[in-house]
A and B are shown apart, each in its own frame.
Chain A
Amino acid sequence: RKEVEQDPGPFNVPEGATVAFNCTYSNSASQSFFWYRQDCRKEPKLLMSVYSSGNEDGRFTAQLNRASQYISLLIRDSKLSDSATYLCVVNSYSGSARQLTFGSGTQLTVLP
Chain B
Amino acid sequence: DGGITQSPKYLFRKEGQNVTLSCEQNLNHDAMYWYRQDPGQGLRLIYYSQIVNDFQKGDIAEGYSVSREKKESFPLTVTSAQKNPTAFYLCASSEREATNEKLFFGSGTQLSVL
Contacts and interface: CB of A to CB of B under 8 A. Distances in A.
Given A41-B88, A41-B108, A43-B106, A104 B40 contact: yes
B89 to A, nearest CB: 11
A41 B40 CA distance: 11
Q: Is the interface of A mostly helix, strand, loop or mixed?
A: strand
B26 interface: no
Contacts of A41: 88, 108, 110
A79 B1 CA distance: 29
Given A32-B100, A42-B108, A100-B103, A87 B42 contact: yes
A100 B34 CA distance: 12
A46 B90 CA distance: 14
Interface in A1-25: 4, 8
A8 B106 CA distance: 24
Contacts of A46: 102-103
A102 B90 CA distance: 13
Interface string B32-55: 000100001111110000100000
B17 interface: no
B99 interface: yes
Given A4-B42, A104-B41, A104-B42, A49 B100 contact: yes
B101 interface: yes
17 contacts: A4-B42, A32-B99, A34-B100, A34-B102, A42-B107, A43-B90, A43-B107, A43-B108, A44-B103, A45-B105, A46-B103, A97-B56, A99-B45, A100-B45, A102-B43, A104-B41, A105-B42
Interface of B: 35, 40-45, 50, 56, 88, 90, 99-103, 105-108, 110
